[in-house]
Amino acid sequence: MTPEIYIDADACPVKDEALKVAYRHDLVLHLVSNQWLRLEVGERINKVVVSDGFDAADDWIAEHVREGDICVTGDIPLAARCIEAGATVLGHSGKPFTTENIGMALAMRELKSQLRDMGEDRGFNASFAAKDRSRFLSALEAAVQQSFKR
């Protein structure tokens, strides 16, 4: 079965890298967002614009992703849902979300949320660098190669 790639696209900094891999392997790629994206794309690229309801893009992806597919997201609860469906899940920096690490990621997300609510954490994130793009591109290529071996 040929994998499809699902991108949680609203805040995704690696859309261009994902498109590059999809074109290289002639894969279907779904760019799912709450707003229209100004990207020139080919015929195997599916731009999906969902309602602006809370988690609408996440829900669309979770309803369509299947075993063997690949999901790119920075949203940890969506990552958990995609893992449960049997998909390979990558964060924007290329770090994989797996059955072994998703529980800790969810727990850390909850802890950080509580710290922000108490004013103890301002939620600053490190900037996204060229090395992060490179690491993501390598990780996505490896995920695609691995999916073809299944």
- Burial environment of residue 51 by CB neighbours within 10 A (0 to 12, 13 to 18, 19 or more): exposed
pTM: 0.85
The three-state secondary structure class of 120 is coil
CA distance 83 to 62: 10
User: How far apart are alpha carbons 79 and 74 in whole angstroms?
Assistant: 8
- Which domains occur in the chain, in start order? 5-149 (3.40.50)
According to the model, what pLDDT value does residue 60 have?
97
Residues 6+ apart with CB under 8 A from 77: 58, 106, 109
Tell me what pLDDT residue 117 has: 65
Mean pLDDT by 10 residues, the chain (150 residues): 93 93 96 87 91 88 97 93 96 90 68 65 69 94 90
